[in-house]
Structure 1
Amino acid sequence: MNNSFWTVVGFTAKNKLRGKAFVITTLIIALVLCIGANLPYLITKFSGEDEPTLIGYLDSREVAGNAQLSSNIEIATMLQSNYAAQKDPDLKLVPIADEGSATANEQALKKAIKDEKIDGYIEFAASENSSFPKVIYKSEDLMDMGTSNSLSDALKEVKIAIQLRGSGLTEEQQDQLSLPVTIETIQISTTEGAGSIGDGKSNTQQGMDMGLVYIILTLLFMAIMITGQLIATEVTAEKSSRVMEVLITSVSPLKGMFGKIFGMFLVGLTQIIIFVAVLIGNIMLPHNADLLSGWNINLSEVDPMLLIFALIFYLTGYFLFATMFAAVGSIVSRTEDLAQALMPITLLSLAGYYICMFGGIANPNAMFVKVMSYIPFFSPYVMLVRVGLENPPLWQVGMSILILLITIAIVGWLAAKIYRAGVLMYGKRPTIKELRKAMRAYKV
């Protein structure tokens, strides 16, 4: 491959990297990533969500002679102790003095909300089906499900503790009853001797692999849609300006097309590296590092074979769709008609992405997913999901890659012929008969 190929690559890459559109778009997306990475922290900081929600209750200790009130106070006290024992409680109970009457109590509780002493309050009412009272939570917030669910979980523990008190069990035995049952799931391989991608994965490994699959799928989809559109637009713009007439006489169609594709690949890769660096830089900030530490993220748990196959499917998927985008862009004379001409290729890419997101990730072992993993227009997406979330034999992955490479060779050969014939056809879009006749006149 002589210098003409690298001349096209360098010209394409430099032209885009120096363009104002590339710089502005990259800066805007980088800014959005910065905001998105720090959004949970910003929301917490400005909304006060890092502080526990204050829940009021009537403290009727001074009201004597009422067994029900004493029971309610006991429940509220146990509920308060339950939250106080937590490391980072999301709720905190605040006692409000009993005013002696239901009306006065209601006014006192509402005044406490108005004065911002509490965010809401709970009331106790008799329950028809249980000795444990019904709890009513009142606040000004609409559909405050987070607080309601937290109270419900804590009240279940209080109810169990009250019922166990007369059971004769020791405190240690009662604590053992409240401990959750730990279930660990391990992904195993049943294809021993046939060759497979993995040999059993723990929960952490499966979580890391699923996260990586999501990231690679999104990056591949963005690379195909954004860079592919840029390639087609670049070819159409050069054709409409008659620059292509000069280029096509000095560079072979195969080198010209793949030089432009590879140049755009470098542009897209540069942009992705910038975005990943910005994202990692923001994630490593102290306030985000503390948040991630609670998710038990360990990059050493990522399967290295998954990384290798992710790179293979990323590159093959990109170059397959990029050649098609270049070929279609070469037969369109006006940029106004480009979106309509690219619609079939766009739908193919969307179909592969949506098959994974709405079917493949949920059920990677389904027969439909397995069939789609061998169809080259979908396999860069679907087989990656199978490799990351299932455990396919190596021969299946190898066959998918082989079919994909053969398809890239065929599509590349056809695209080069279409590219050479299409870029010299001006005016209306050529018919299939005209394009086929022109393709026969040129050799790749």
Structure 2
Amino acid sequence: MNKLSAVIGFTFMNKVRTKSFLITTLVLALLLTIGIHIPYFIDKFTGNENGPVTVGLVYSDYPELADSLEKYHDRLAASGMRFSKYEQADTALDKDLGDGKIAGYLQFVKTNAESFPEVNYVSKKDSISSGVQTELQAALQSVKTEFITKGTLSDAQVAELNAPVSINVHKLEDTQGGTQNGEDSSKERDFSPANFAVMYALIILFFMTIMMTGNMISAEVTAEKSSRIMEILITSTSPLAQMFGKIIGMFLIGLLQIFVFTAVIAANLSLPHNRASLEGYELDFSQLNPSVLILGLVYFILGYFLYATLFAAVGSLVSRTEELGQAVMPITMLSLAAFYIGSFSMSAPNSLLMKVCNYIPFFSPISMIVRIGMGTPKTWEIIVSIVVLLIAIYVFGWLSAKIYRTGVLLYGKRPTIKELRKAMKAYKI
């Protein structure tokens, strides 16, 4: 145990002090800061200011339509724009547009007496912001309905006519009170922005941790092997303590980076100009399902150790760092496949593909995080998936330890499977 803690401490401190680690962490933190501020920079460079966008509304041609549009807008609980009333399109309107007092103006143009008039939006640019366009289209649709019906419908009927139709999804129940797939319909989980945010963050962090720390583990083993220092280390420490000491040490380094990145993101999002954009996502973490966070962290840790043992074993087989990229490619492809399966199946977390991936240890960490966050996995599915993952960690950990013990002492050309198997038989863990 003392030797294991010594290897963990040595690996952690030795890597944290390197310039490459410090520079990489600093650059990634800087990129995160820039990425979070991109919307703010775009608003500044395009001349947009914080607060509602002011749009001019010309009354001269269709005063009743302009009045209906303004009344509809006033009834909105929240809006990203406001109207400024103009009696007609004249030089005063053009001057306000040129001075930047309004972002553009809206004008109804006559076509014929029966049909709804054309709507023109005039601005200094050849485009309209997506938020203003969405809000204007919804308001104009209501005004158009009122114009066509010509007062034959009440305000309540017009509102009902314009209200979007919601689709409620239910599972088909059988005659025994269950569902067609034997699942309890009461377990249908409503969409929660907080659950989705935590689930997506865990997936991204899992993939980033595997890619960064996994490659660091294999590179560390290969570098020690190529310098022949491994011949000394392998005689002073058991291969299991040495391998898992490196894995746990690199895991702590990954957690340190995650903590730094989380602090950077939180600090940037807490700034006043970013806080308003965050409120638009309606993230209420008091509604977070604790199982999403707890089970998500369990799969995060178990998945990391599974992939880390494989990276360590592969690194021990390579004698030169130039060959490392090609050697770890199969493990990289497995992690990419797991990431893409989980990402593209978020809209169908209970699909057959996701259920099958629950029991494939290379894919189950991400697939189960998605199912727990968005779907309705049964308790026995979670238990069986964790058991399979633990068995896989034990098997691949045992196999990786034997490969590690024999591979680190094989120099020159990459050993063949026959040579590796013969060397592994001579060593027992």
State the TM-score, normalizing by the size of structure 2: 0.86
1:70-119 C-alpha deviation (Å, 9 max, x unpaired): xx2332343344445554442534527456xxxxx8xx876764454544
- Between the aligned partners of 1:181 and 1:31, the Cα distance in structure 2 is 44
Task: Quote the residue 1:238 is aligned against.
Answer: 224
RMSD of aligned Cα (Å): 3.2
Task: Quote the residue 1:14 is aligned against.
Answer: 13
1:300-320 C-alpha deviation (Å, 9 max, x unpaired): 211112222112111110000
- Between the aligned partners of 1:26 and 1:226, the Cα distance in structure 2 is 11
Are the counterparts in 1 of residues 57 and 86 from structure 2 also a CA contact under 8 Å? yes
Task: Quote the residue 2:255 is aligned against.
Answer: 269
Superposition deviation, residue 51 in structure 1 = 4.7
1:79 correspondence with 2:64: no
Task: Quote the residue 1:420 is aligned against.
Answer: 405
Say which SS state the counterpart of residue 382 (structure 1) adopts: helix
Shifted more, 431-440 versus 255-264: the winner is: 431-440
Superposition deviation, residue 399 in structure 1 = 0.8
1:329-383 C-alpha deviation (Å, 9 max, x unpaired): 011111111000100000000000000111x211111111111111111111112
**Match for residue 144 of structure 1 among 117, 128, 133:** 128
Describe the shift of the 1:130–1:317 C-alpha distance in structure 2 as closer, same or farther (beyond 3 A).
Answer: farther
1:254-280 C-alpha deviation (Å, 9 max, x unpaired): 111111111111111111112112222
- Partner amino acid for 2:66? A
1:24 correspondence with 2:23: yes
**1:385-400 mapped onto 2 (5 Å cutoff):** 385-400=370-385
Q: Structure 1 stretches of 5 or more lacking a match?
A: 61-68, 100-104
Describe the shift of the 1:287–1:140 C-alpha distance in structure 2 as closer, same or farther (beyond 3 A).
Answer: closer
1:284-309 C-alpha deviation (Å, 9 max, x unpaired): 34444444344332222111122221
**Match for residue 268 of structure 2 among 282, 289, 293:** 282
Q: Structure 2 stretches of 5 or more lacking a match?
A: none
- Partner amino acid for 2:343? M
- Between the aligned partners of 1:436 and 1:174, the Cα distance in structure 2 is 77
- Partner amino acid for 2:257? Q
- Between the aligned partners of 1:203 and 1:253, the Cα distance in structure 2 is 47
Describe the shift of the 1:301–1:56 C-alpha distance in structure 2 as closer, same or farther (beyond 3 A).
Answer: closer
Are the counterparts in 2 of residues 164 and 174 from structure 1 also a CA contact under 8 Å? no
Task: Quote the residue 1:63 is aligned against.
Answer: none
Say which SS state the counterpart of residue 297 (structure 1) adopts: coil
- Kindly tell me the number of residue pairs found equivalent between the two proteins: 420
Describe the shift of the 1:220–1:251 C-alpha distance in structure 2 as closer, same or farther (beyond 3 A).
Answer: same
- Between the aligned partners of 1:329 and 1:399, the Cα distance in structure 2 is 31
Say which SS state the counterpart of residue 350 (structure 1) adopts: helix
Superposition deviation, residue 153 in structure 1 = 1.9
Superposition deviation, residue 226 in structure 1 = 0.5
- Between the aligned partners of 2:303 and 2:337, the Cα distance in structure 1 is 13
Are the counterparts in 1 of residues 145 and 158 from structure 2 also a CA contact under 8 Å? no
Task: Quote the residue 2:309 is aligned against.
Answer: 323
1:35-91 C-alpha deviation (Å, 9 max, x unpaired): 33344445445532435444446554xxxxxxxx3xx23323433444455544425
Superposition deviation, residue 182 in structure 1 = 7.7
Shifted more, 121-130 versus 230-239: the winner is: 121-130
- Between the aligned partners of 1:286 and 1:306, the Cα distance in structure 2 is 30
Are the counterparts in 1 of residues 189 and 376 from structure 2 also a CA contact under 8 Å? no
Superposition deviation, residue 180 in structure 1 = 6.6
**Match for residue 120 of structure 1 among 100, 104, 108:** 104
- Between the aligned partners of 1:311 and 1:122, the Cα distance in structure 2 is 52
1:22-46 C-alpha deviation (Å, 9 max, x unpaired): 1222222222333333444454455
- Partner amino acid for 1:79? L
Are the counterparts in 2 of residues 54 and 93 from structure 1 also a CA contact under 8 Å? yes
Task: Quote the residue 2:339 is aligned against.
Answer: 353
- Partner amino acid for 1:75? L
Task: Quote the residue 1:442 is aligned against.
Answer: 427
- Between the aligned partners of 2:96 and 2:4, the Cα distance in structure 1 is 75
Are the counterparts in 2 of residues 187 and 201 from structure 1 also a CA contact under 8 Å? no
Task: Quote the residue 1:65 is aligned against.
Answer: none
- Partner amino acid for 1:217? I
1:415-441 C-alpha deviation (Å, 9 max, x unpaired): 111111111111121111121122122
Task: Quote the residue 1:210 is aligned against.
Answer: 196
Identity %: 47
Are the counterparts in 1 of residues 59 and 85 from structure 2 also a CA contact under 8 Å? no
**Match for residue 132 of structure 1 among 107, 116, 127:** 116
Say which SS state the counterpart of residue 121 (structure 2) adopts: strand
- Between the aligned partners of 1:263 and 1:98, the Cα distance in structure 2 is 70
- Partner amino acid for 1:346? T
Are the counterparts in 1 of residues 225 and 316 from structure 2 also a CA contact under 8 Å? yes
Describe the shift of the 1:164–1:142 C-alpha distance in structure 2 as closer, same or farther (beyond 3 A).
Answer: same
1:48 correspondence with 2:48: yes
Task: Quote the residue 1:312 is aligned against.
Answer: 298
- Between the aligned partners of 1:426 and 1:45, the Cα distance in structure 2 is 58
